[in-house]
Chain A
């Protein structure tokens, strides 16, 4: 693999930068993340997670199963701040009960 190959698309981190962190002693995804920003972007490491684990495993000569995955945190998928704050502006959720109308000719 070319050293300039992008591993983390969100933050544009390449193989060389990741291997640099490994040379400094990083041995987990999260170690590398904090040094390089790899995995800190919008996808939150969904794309680069296993690519990075593979690089660590190869560089340290261990099996990929020994490299822990990154720590996942809320909200897992990008979420509006207003929604987290409890702002409920949606009016698309309706009552099934209200849907039924007993008055003839209404529907």
Chain B
């Protein structure tokens, strides 16, 4: 028996599973999603999962994030409760000199309709009384929020399954061969090749290795982020704070660190301690909270920081979606990639996000 599909998606994180679900809404194609591990074992399962808009710059990147955040309530109607909460987001600053930068952000984002406010210390403390009075101010937007990443990916997969998408987990892709009108994909668990008309690379931080199978150099970096988690606390944080959030069950997730250490996912004492200090600088009373666990995730950051989306130049019927902030962007990226594959064009122009920008054309 040959395994023939119209579309194969490599990678079942928040982006791969969202693309699969949105493609499956057309109910026209035979779709397979392959993952080297199990969903949520990688980047999508080790995140604070902010749906964060307000300081994504330049404004066109902010706009992309805004449209995606606005899709969440509707997405929830379609796939089920992913615990999306539009909490509003606060990004505190500690020096009065940062206020100028904050005001410039307000102007930049206003051009695309993202409403950002600059709060004074008193306004910050009125919104979040637990925050430190040493804070000088903050930028604020009611567009930011957060979501439960575990529920999100699980429900993308379940909704896609209802639309007859097939999944193959613990099955790394080891070879890809481009033939005249299809791709042959060899995986660890199957002797015979899987053949597909189209292939979509959604490997997140592992996009580099997957790209190499097609002879591509995908310009991304792996960046480790470490997070600490408190025991469940009585609700005291209403907003998503740049750096931390309180989950529905009362746990507070804290952390905002960046280290380029490849695929190393260990947590390290130095970053954990700095993270604890950051927590106390923001919220002094957290010093008394108990920490239950730390975790770390490998994020993907394209070389220039912006999403890589769209058709792969010079490879027929091959597509890529690799980006930081996949949780924020997944509803929109899934929608747009499905449009691109099914209709050949997208309702928001993806030209500037093409892999082409990294390639040197003679």
A-side residues, CB < 8 A to B, are 25-28, 30-31, 34-35, 37, 40-42, 44, 73-75, 78-82, 84-87
Contacts and interface: CB of A to CB of B under 8 A. Distances in A.
Nearest to B273: A84
A81 B273 contact: no
Interface of B: 38-41, 45, 150, 154, 167, 169-170, 228, 230-231, 267, 269, 272-273, 276-277, 279-280, 286-295
Contact of A81 (B167, B267, B276, B295): B276
A78 B41 contact: no
A35 B150 contact: yes
A80 B288 contact: yes
Contact of B291 (A30, A35, A37, A81): A81
7 contacts: A25-B38, A25-B167, A41-B292, A42-B231, A80-B289, A80-B291, A87-B287
Given A34-B40, A73-B267, A84 B291 contact: yes
B242 to A, nearest CB: 18
A84 B150 CA distance: 28
Given A37-B150, A74-B293, 10 more contacts: A25-B169, A28-B38, A34-B39, A34-B41, A35-B154, A79-B290, A79-B291, A81-B279, A84-B291, A85-B277
- If over half of B's interface residues share one DSSP class (helix, strand or loop), that class is named, otherwise mixed; here it is mixed
Contact of B277 (A31, A78, A86): A86
Contact of B288 (A31, A37, A81): A81
Contact of B286 (A42, A73, A81): A81
A79 B170 CA distance: 35
Contact of A35 (B40, B169, B273, B290): B40
Contacts of B279: 81, 85
Contacts, number: 82
Nearest to B277: A85
B290 A80 contact: yes
Given A75-B291, A81-B279, A81-B291, A86 B273 contact: yes
B272 A84 contact: yes
Given A25-B169, A27-B38, A81-B287, A74 B272 contact: yes
Contacts of B290: 78-81
A76 to B, nearest CB: 9
B318 to A, nearest CB: 27
A74 B267 contact: yes
Contacts of A78: 231, 290-292
Contacts of B287: 80-82, 85, 87
Given A78-B290, A79-B291, A85-B287, A26 B38 contact: yes
Contacts of B40: 31, 34-35
A86 B291 CA distance: 14
Question: Could you say which of B38, B167, B272 has the most chain A C-beta atoms within 10 Å of its C-beta?
Answer: B38
A40 B294 CA distance: 11
A98 B183 CA distance: 77
Contacts of B167: 25
A67 to B, nearest CB: 13
Contacts of A37: 150
B280 A81 contact: yes
A9 B284 CA distance: 31
A27 B39 CA distance: 11
A82 B38 contact: no
Nearest to B286: A81
B168 to A, nearest CB: 9
A58 to B, nearest CB: 19
B130 to A, nearest CB: 13
B109 to A, nearest CB: 33
Contacts of B276: 81-82, 84-86
A81 B272 contact: no
Closest 6 CB pairs of A and B: A82-B287, A85-B276, A84-B276, A34-B40, A31-B38, A85-B277
Counting chain B CB atoms within 10 Å of each CB, which of A31, A34, A44, A86 scores highest?
A: A34
A82 B280 contact: yes
Given A34-B45, A81-B280, A44 B273 contact: no
Contacts of B294: 73-75
Interface centre among B45, B170, B293, by most chain A C-beta atoms within 10 angstroms, is B293
